[in-house]
Amino acid sequence: MNHQQLDEYLRKLDQIEEIQIKTHQNINEFEENELIIESVNNIIRMPEEYFFDKGPIFISKHHRFADMYVHMHSFIEINYVYSGVCKQNINGKEVILTQGQVCMLDVDVPHSIQALGVNDILINIIIKKEIFAGSFIGQLGNTGIVSNFLANAISENQRHDHYIMFHSENNENLQYIIKNMICEFLDEQDYSIEMVQAYLPVILTELMRVYQLDKNFELKRVSGKANIIDIIHFIERHYKDCSLTSLAEKFNFNPNYLGNMLKEQTGKTFLELIQMQRMIRASVLLKNTTKGIDDIAFEIGYESSSFFHRKFKQYFGCTPSQFRKKGK
């Protein structure tokens, strides 16, 4: 399948769309007993076992002409707008994606999708979070928002209500790679599954280049000063010795005002951002080096090894030694 054949395939009505274009009612692809209703908020949880019979990545076209009800799932989802516009409600906030843009959804994020028109084509790339264990995040580097996002997604102890919107419409390389990935998945050949998995870190790396974010790291300039991305970048580089006071002085903010702005824009306090960056770096060093745990604690800015052990277990749910064993 080449890109022209892919375009023809995606624009053609499938069996479900032929019904939905007439009824405008969502056709449930699952048997009723496979859908799990979350008792707390009455939200449908999509069954993971339905998707991953071929491997840890599943790609599909979202069916057009009917609203998709509010749902959530235990896997990470990448929405790619191949054509047209897609309007979603993610965790209570309306998000509009246009052609070429990407939205990455954390696990357990309630979201719904408004009915797509004939020229609105949305591609869903869903990924088992287990694929990001081991050395995968280390391959992406430890200073990017995407790698931080994925590390949060695989941690059982973190709050999972995040998403990232990428304004990737002008990144031609990303569009080309995603289309290749879709072709490999839809037109399976020898080693297609391996090719699909190989494309994933390349796509995520391109997304880190794009970097314009919508929610938790929203681009926002305050009175002509540095935007939140510049500040987050600085924290990522100087997490070992950065203080809120020194950060405020660097970017010409009042410390209290900056602390409140970080909390508003990222959902985390300054200290939580510092700890997150330290934990991400520690996880990379544990998985990809043979450095001693005490040495790692010192390298990421902890003077007390026991304090590092305690913080690491709070963040990842296991000790550094257990984490290293799992990674191997």
Residue-range domains of the chain with CATH: 3-210 (2.60.120.280), 228-327 (1.10.10.60)
Q: How far apart are CA 111 and CA 161, in angstroms?
A: 10
pLDDT in tens, 282-293: 988 998 889 999
As a whole-number percent, the residues of the chain with pLDDT over 90 amount to 45
Contact 167, 153 (CB under 8 A): no
Q: So what's the pLDDT on residue 220? A: 45
Contact 50, 61 (CB under 8 A): no
pLDDT above 70: residue 78: yes
pLDDT above 70: residue 137: no
Give the H/E segment covering residue 93: strand 93-98
DSSP 269: -
Q: So what's the pLDDT on residue 217? A: 44
Q: Which residues contact 54 (CB under 8 A, 6 or more apart)?
A: 193
Over residues 52-68, the mean pLDDT reads 92
Over residues 190-203, the mean pLDDT reads 91
Over residues 159-170, the mean pLDDT reads 77
pLDDT above 50: residue 135: no
Sort strands 102-105 and 163-166 into parallel, antiparallel or unpaired.
antiparallel
Q: How far apart are CA 100 and CA 123, in angstroms?
A: 11
Secondary structure class of 294 (helix, strand, coil): helix
Q: So what's the pLDDT on residue 280? A: 86
Grade residue 21 by pLDDT with cuts at 50, 70 and 90.
very high
Tokens at 138, concatenated: 């280390």
Work out the number of other CB atoms within 10 angstroms of the CB of residue 22.
9
Contact 28, 44 (CB under 8 A): no
Closest among 283, 268, 280 to 147, alpha carbons compared: 280
**Residue 201 identity (one-letter amino acid):** P
pLDDT above 90: residue 308: yes
Highest averaged pLDDT of the listed ranges 74-83, 162-171, 275-284: 74-83
pLDDT above 50: residue 196: yes
Q: In what order do the strands lie in the sheet with 163-166?
A: 57-61, 121-127, 76-83, 102-105, 163-166
Q: So what's the pLDDT on residue 51? A: 87
CA distances to 3, 128, 306 from 136, in Å: 28, 13, 27
pLDDT above 90: residue 176: yes
Q: So what's the pLDDT on residue 177? A: 96
Q: So what's the pLDDT on residue 121? A: 98
pLDDT above 90: residue 325: no
Q: How far apart are CA 140 and CA 265, in angstroms?
A: 24
Lowest mean pLDDT among 98-107, 157-166, 203-212: 157-166
Mean pLDDT, the chain, whole residue set: 83
Lowest mean pLDDT among 4-8, 130-134, 166-170, 277-281: 130-134
